[in-house]
Amino acid sequence: MTVIVLSGPVGAGKSSLTSILSKYLGTKPFYESVDDNPVLPLFYKDPQKYTYLLQLFFLNTRFHSIKKALSDDNNVLDRSIYEDSLFFHMNADIGRANKLEIQTYDELLDSMMKELDRMPKKHPDLLVHIHVSYETMINRIQKRGRSYEQLTFDPGLEDYYKRMLRYYHQWYEDYDYSPKMVLDGDKYDFMASQSDREEVLAEITAKLKQMGKLPKNWQAGEIARKAIEIGQ
């Protein structure tokens, strides 16, 4: 069983790469609830009011997803519980959570992580982090068109997004739950370019092969080639 978790800021292409990678490896994708998330649009309208509720919603769904993934067969997650604290504490640092909320959140997350430590498979096998610049991030946010994510919806999102990129740098440095690797999301447009997709998939499979973690019975056959060609 091989569990791969993806990470990266808003607009990095995690869901797209999850789809491409899961088809290429013949594994199961786990997608985070975004478009059907009832709290997310409320958060963008009033982050001061809804930060705590949003993070509890995400923490709950990410906890159930990682438990299922660690108990399931081979799979890929487009975001995981390991990133959750980054978002909550980033918002807390700009005054969107009080001391009691911070304490409650930290205690709940700690309890969840201790429960994961009691599972037969305790951690993912590989973290694939997609690094993007602010310019690439904004370009992809604009392309996917969610109104509440746009700078025109709230000019204050510029500072929020730039802060997010800074927090991700330190988060990746500190991450130690599994082996990890970085993809250059500025260099590789794996969503639009077949050659870039091939490069990215080659990097990931080379890392998995080095670790002895390529899914059993996997080979770069017809399904894998179609995943590269389709890319979605």
Q: Is 166 annotated as a binding residue?
A: no
What are the residue ranges of helices labelled H in 72-174? 84-93, 99-117, 134-144, 157-174
Q: Is 145 annotated as a binding residue?
A: no
- Asked if residues 122 and 70 have their Cβ atoms less than 8 Å apart, the reply is yes
Q: Is 13 annotated as a binding residue?
A: yes
Structure tokens at 78: 């487009």
Q: Is 32 annotated as a binding residue?
A: yes
The reply to whether 78 belongs to the active site is: yes
Q: Is 9 annotated as a binding residue?
A: yes
Q: Is 149 annotated as a binding residue?
A: yes
Q: Which of 35, 36, 73, 78 is catalytic?
A: 78
- Asked if residues 227 and 19 have their Cβ atoms less than 8 Å apart, the reply is no
Strand order of the sheet with strand 126-131?
Answer: 28-30, 75-77, 3-7, 126-131, 180-184
Q: Is 182 annotated as a binding residue?
A: no
Residues carrying an active site annotation: 78
Q: Which residues are annotated as a binding site for substrate?
A: 32, 44, 55, 79, 84, 149
Q: Which residues are annotated as a binding site?
A: 8-16, 32, 44, 55, 79, 84, 140-144, 149
Q: Which residues are annotated as a binding site for ATP?
A: 8-16, 140-144
